[in-house]
Amino acid sequence: MTPHSTLLDTTSDLELATTINTNSKTLILCPPAVSSRPDLLEKSLSTFDKSSTDVQMLDRLSLKVVNLPISAYSSVLILTDPSSTAVSQELEPYVLQIIFNSMLPKATLRSQEEAFARGNSLQFLVAGFMVEKDVDGSIILIRPEFTGNASVPLKVRRKQRTDDLNEFNTTKTEPVAATTEAPVIKGVGFVLNDDDLEDDDDLIDEDTLLETGDLGTLIQPAECKPSAGKRRRACKDCTCGLREELEGEDKAKREAADKALAAAKEKVAAGVKLTVNDLAEVDFTVAGKVSSCGSCYLGDAFRCAGCPYIGLPAFKPGEQVTVDLDDDQL
C-alpha cells in the first residue's frame, strides 16, 4: 500500500548539486496525473535527498488509504499536475489538515504551481497556515511555531468549541481566529443578511457534516437474528431463506384452506351456486359444516391458525357469503 517504494526506485546516479534541506525530512505530494509521468517525478525528486524524502499520492490521502506521520517534515512540496492547473485549489480541508499536522513548526509548504494560493488563501488560513510571499513572488505556507501541541486531534471536539471554524470541518486550530465570522446579533433570532443565501459559498458544505462531523449517537436497530419472545420476520433483502420459509408457510396454509373449503363445498353441494361472474358461493349456514370454534364468521382477526376460512371475508351467521374463487396465476 505504500506507493513510494516503487516510485522512489530511481537510479542512483542522481546529481545532488541542488539538494535542499539535507538534514531534515521532505514530503513530496503528487497529484494522480504525475504518477503517469515518471519523468516529471524523477526530475523533481532529483533535487532532493532520497534518504530523507517521502513521496505520497494526493488521491491516496484524500481516499484515506494512507495517513501521514505527525510533525515529521520540515518542507512539503506539491508537484504540479501536468493535465490540470488547479490542484492546490482542490485540496480538501481534510487533506490540508493532515498535511498541516505532518509538518514541523516553521516547516514550509510550497507548490510547483504558479498560481498556488494566490487567489483564495482562506482555506489555508483556516487550516492553520501562515501565508507568506517568497522572494520570487510565489506563495509559501508556513506552519506557525505557536500552535503548541504537536498533534492536533482530527475529531471535532464539541465541548471545547468556542469560536470554531467548522464550516471547513478542520480541527480546532488556534492561529486563525474568526477570520470568516462577521459580527452577528446573538439572542433568539439570528439576523440574516440578504446576501447570506445568495450563493453556495455562504453555506457550509453539507458533505463535511457526514465526513468529519459529529453525528451523535444512534439507537442500533435490532439485527436480523431471532430474539427471545419475538418472532422472526424476513428482511426486505432477506438472504437467509426466512422469506422463502414464511412465504412457503403462507402458501401451504392457503392451499390447505382451499382444500378444506373445497371439501366443505362438496358436502354442501346443494348450497353451491355458480354466478355469472364465475363466483362460487358457500353456504355457511348448513349445520355442522362451518366451524368448531364458533368465531370463524367474525373474520381473520378472530380465526385460529388452520381455519379453512382464513383469508376470506367475515360473514354473518346465517348469511350467504360470496367468495371469489377466481385465482390469478401469479
Partner 1 sequence: MAGSLLAGSPVLILYASELGTAADLAKEVAHTLLRRRLNVKCMEANELDPFTSLPIYKTIIFLASTTGQGEIPMNGKDFWRKFLVKRIPRDWLKGVEFTTFGCGDSTYLKYNAAARKIHGRFLQLGATQMVARGEGDEQHSEGIDGSFFPWLEMLVDTLSMKYPLPDGVEPLPADHLLEPEHFVTLTSHRKVTYLVRDVMKDLHVQRPASRTCLIVRNKRVTAESHWQDVRHITISVPGSSVRWAPGDTVTLLPKNFPEDVEEFLVCQGLIDVADHPLGFMRIPNPAVESPLPGRLVQPLTLRTLLTHHLDLTSIPRRAFFGMIANFTDNKVHKERILEFTNPEYLDELYDYTTRPRRSILEVLQEFSSVKIPINRLIDVIPVMRARAFSVASSNTGHSPGSFDEKIDLEILVAIVKYKTIIKKTRQGVCTRWLASLKEGDPISVVFQHGTLVPHSTTELYNKPTVMIAPGTGVAPMRALLRERIFDKGHYLKNTLIFGCRGKDTDFFFQEEWVELVRRDFLRLNTAFSRDQPAKRYVQHVILEQAGHLWERIFKQGAVVYVCGSSGNMPIAVREALIKVFQEKGEWEKEVAVAYLAHMEKEGRFRQETW
Residues 298-327 within binding reach of partner 1 (CB under 8 A): 298-302, 310-314, 323-325, 327
Q: Which of 184, 263, 274, 279 binds partner 1 (CB under 8 A)?
A: 184
CB 97 within 8 A of CB 165: no
Nearer to partner 1, 77 or 127 (CB): 127
Candidates 119, 26, 128; CA nearest to 68 is 26
Cα 89 from Cα 87, distance rounded (Å): 5
Range 79-138, binding partner 1 (CB under 8 A)? none
288 near partner 1 (CB under 8 A): no
Please give the size of the binding site for partner 1, defined by CB under 8 A: 76
Q: What's the start-to-end Cα distance of the chain, in Å? A: 52
Place of cell 370454534: 293
Nearer to partner 1, 131 or 204 (CB): 204
Q: How far is the CB of 116 from partner 1 (least distance, A)?
A: 23
Nearer to partner 1, 106 or 259 (CB): 259
181 near partner 1 (CB under 8 A): yes
Nearer to partner 1, 253 or 289 (CB): 253
Q: How far is the CB of 104 from partner 1 (least distance, A)?
A: 28
Reduced to 3 states, what is the DSSP secondary structure of residue 88? helix
| Cell output for 235 | 428482511
- Judge whether 30 is annotated as a binding position: no
If one counts every other C-beta atom within 10 angstroms of the C-beta of residue 132, the result is: 11
Candidates 283, 237, 235; CA nearest to 261 is 283
Candidates 140, 96, 104, 101; CA nearest to 23 is 104
Burial of 175-190, coded b for 16+ CB within 10 Å and e otherwise, reads: ebeeeeeeeeeeeeee
158 near partner 1 (CB under 8 A): yes
17-25, 112-120, 139-147, 296-304 -> range binding partner 1 (CB under 8 A): 296-304
Cα 286 from Cα 283, distance rounded (Å): 6
Nearer to partner 1, 149 or 159 (CB): 159
| Cell output for 246 | 414464511
- Judge whether 296 is annotated as a binding position: yes
In terms of Cβ atoms closer than 10 Å to its own Cβ (0-12, 13-18, 19+), residue 6 is exposed
Place of cell 358461493: 281
Binding mask 249-278 for partner 1 (x = CB under 8 A): -xx-xx--x---------------------
Q: Which of 2, 6, 38, 64 binds partner 1 (CB under 8 A)?
A: 64
Q: How far is the CB of 154 from partner 1 (least distance, A)?
A: 16
Q: Which of 236, 269, 277, 318 binds partner 1 (CB under 8 A)?
A: 236
Q: Which of 33, 224, 260, 321 binds partner 1 (CB under 8 A)?
A: 224
Nearer to partner 1, 237 or 266 (CB): 237
Alpha-carbon distance values, 294 to 195, 238, 245, 265, 290 (Å): 73, 38, 30, 18, 8
103-111 and 139-142 beta bridge pairing: antiparallel
Reduced to 3 states, what is the DSSP secondary structure of residue 328? coil
Q: Which of 137, 148, 221, 288 binds partner 1 (CB under 8 A)?
A: 221
Q: How far is the CB of 230 from partner 1 (least distance, A)?
A: 7
Q: How far is the CB of 177 from partner 1 (least distance, A)?
A: 13
Return binding residues for [4Fe-4S] cluster: 293, 296, 304, 307
Return binding residues: 224, 235, 238, 240, 293, 296, 304, 307
Return binding residues for [2Fe-2S] cluster: 224, 235, 238, 240
